[in-house]
Structure 1
């Protein structure tokens, strides 16, 4: 078993290098990817479209897609999502962005909770994912 903490070059570094974007655990016959929560920021770390759930959802999933791709994964490899939202009334708009990413039935396991705020002002959404890569080392 090998453990790798990574900040892929194709994604902006986390704030102050305080955490890794992804923890990868290589196991016999595959790998487990656990992504840190991602918020909608641009390459300079500024929140994209403060307060706009639709734009932020699209940006968050673009960042997640880039992190997955850096480890040879796609959204088809995602087995669980954990979503933190500042307003559950935004759930339908978030769902539209999310539904387009997962072709399988049923979609991945999921947890969604409302929180009073996120660590960056203007961010209304944070998403963590776990993915499993079969047959990769």
Structure 2
């Protein structure tokens, strides 16, 4: 798979994502359901702790990708939902810590929502990946 970043403006790079990417030569695509801060039985974890919820949601996303023989470097798009956007953005260093080492900056969208499917969840991340 060949990825070409498209950034007519550089400001998004400071936030860790490309405005777009041209993806060529893919063999497989994986569309992941939203991953949240739940344990392996689906029980919500870390109520009221945005940082811990983001970390576990990322762990769960990596587990799903790994089960499909992919990783964070394969992600071609992220969609993030947060009940408190300002609080979520305070902890986006966690995304940088995961995506930086694999040199990935997939296009992403961050949306503020009034609630997620299961209270007390505050953060959900969906991904599309390809190889």
Structure with the higher fraction of residues in helix conformation: 2
Give the aligned partner of residue 115 of structure 2.
117
Alpha-carbon deviation of 1:89? 1.3
Which of 6, 30, 37 is the matching residue for 1:33? 30
Q: Is 2:73 the counterpart of 1:76?
A: yes
Q: Which runs of 5+ in 2 are unaligned?
A: 1-24
The C-alpha deviation readout for 1:75-125, integer Å capped at 9, x for no partner, is: 0111110000000111333311111121326x1100000000011111000
SS in 2 for 1:69: helix
| Contact preservation (8 Å) 2:51, 2:88 | no
Structure 1, residues 32-85: CA drift from partner, whole Å, max 9, x if none? 111001111012321111121110111001111011011110101111100000
What SS does structure 2 have at the residue aligned with 1:123?
Answer: coil
Q: Following TM superposition, where does structure 1 have runs of at least 4 consecutive aligned residues deviating by more than 6 angstroms?
A: none
Q: What is the CA–CA distance in structure 1 between the aligned matches of 2:77 and 2:59, rounded to whole Å?
A: 17
TM-score, structure 1 as length reference = 0.72
1:45 matched to 2:67: no
Question: RMSD between aligned alpha carbons?
Answer: 1.5
Aligned to 1:59: 56
